[in-house]
Structure 1
Amino acid sequence: MNETKVKILEAVLTEFKKKGAKFTMDDVASDLHMSKKTIYKEFNDKEEIFDALVDYCFDSIKEKEAEILNDNSLSTVEKIEKIMICMPDKYRDVDFRKVFVMKDKYPQIYQKVQNRIENDWEDTIDLIERGMKEGVVRPVSIPVIKAMTEASIEKFLGETGSDGSPSYGDSLQVMVDILMRGICA
Structure 2
Amino acid sequence: MNRNNLAIKTKIIEAAFKVSESKGPKFTMNDLAKELGMSKKTIYTVFEDKESLFNAMVDYFFDSVKAGENQLLKKEADLPIDVRFKHILGVLPEISLDVNYTELYTVRTKYPKVYDRIQSRLESGWELTLSLLDEGMETGVFRPVDKLMFQLTFEAAIERFLMGDELAKSQLNYGQVLTELVDMMVDGIKVQK
What range describes the TM-score normalised by the shorter chain of this pair? over 0.9
User: SS at 2:16's partner residue?
Assistant: helix
In structure 2, the CA distance between the partners of 1:118 and 1:60, relative to structure 1 (3 Å rule), is: same
| Partner residue in 1 for 2:25 | 21
Q: Does 1:175 align with 2:158?
A: no
| Partner residue in 2 for 1:75 | 80
Residue 18 of structure 1: how far off its partner (Å): 1.1
When structure 1 is superposed on structure 2, of 109-118 and 75-84 the one drifting more is: 75-84
Q: Does 1:63 align with 2:57?
A: no
When structure 1 is superposed on structure 2, of 1-10 and 117-126 the one drifting more is: 1-10
TM-score normalised by L of structure 2: 0.89
| Partner residue in 1 for 2:147 | 142
Q: Map 1:121-136; keep pairs closer than 5 Å.
A: 121-136=126-141
1:1-47 residue CA offsets vs partner (Å, 9 max, x unmatched): 61111111111111112111211111111111111111111111111
| Percent of aligned pairs sharing the same letter | 40
Alpha-carbon separation, structure 2, partners of 1:125 and 1:162: 31
CA contact (8 A) 1:99 1:110 kept: no
Residue 165 of structure 1: how far off its partner (Å): 4.4
Residue 55 of structure 1: how far off its partner (Å): 0.7
Q: How many residues align?
A: 184
* Residue identity in the other structure for 1:85: G
Residue 101 of structure 1: how far off its partner (Å): 1.1
Q: Does 1:163 align with 2:169?
A: yes
Residue 162 of structure 1: how far off its partner (Å): 3.8
Alpha-carbon separation, structure 2, partners of 1:130 and 1:171: 26
| Partner residue in 2 for 1:37 | 41
In structure 2, the CA distance between the partners of 1:84 and 1:67, relative to structure 1 (3 Å rule), is: same
Which of 76, 90, 113 is 1:108 aligned to? Answer: 113
Structure 2: unaligned runs, 5 residues or longer: none
| Partner residue in 2 for 1:11 | 15
Give me the CA root mean square deviation.
Answer: 1.8
CA contact (8 A) 2:17 2:95 kept: no
CA contact (8 A) 2:108 2:115 kept: yes
CA contact (8 A) 2:14 2:95 kept: no
CA contact (8 A) 2:90 2:178 kept: yes
Residue 95 of structure 1: how far off its partner (Å): 3.0
When structure 1 is superposed on structure 2, of 160-169 and 149-158 the one drifting more is: 160-169
TM-score normalised by L of structure 1: 0.92
* Residue identity in the other structure for 1:6: T
1:135-181 residue CA offsets vs partner (Å, 9 max, x unmatched): 11111111111111011111112134343342221111111111122
| Partner residue in 1 for 2:103 | 98
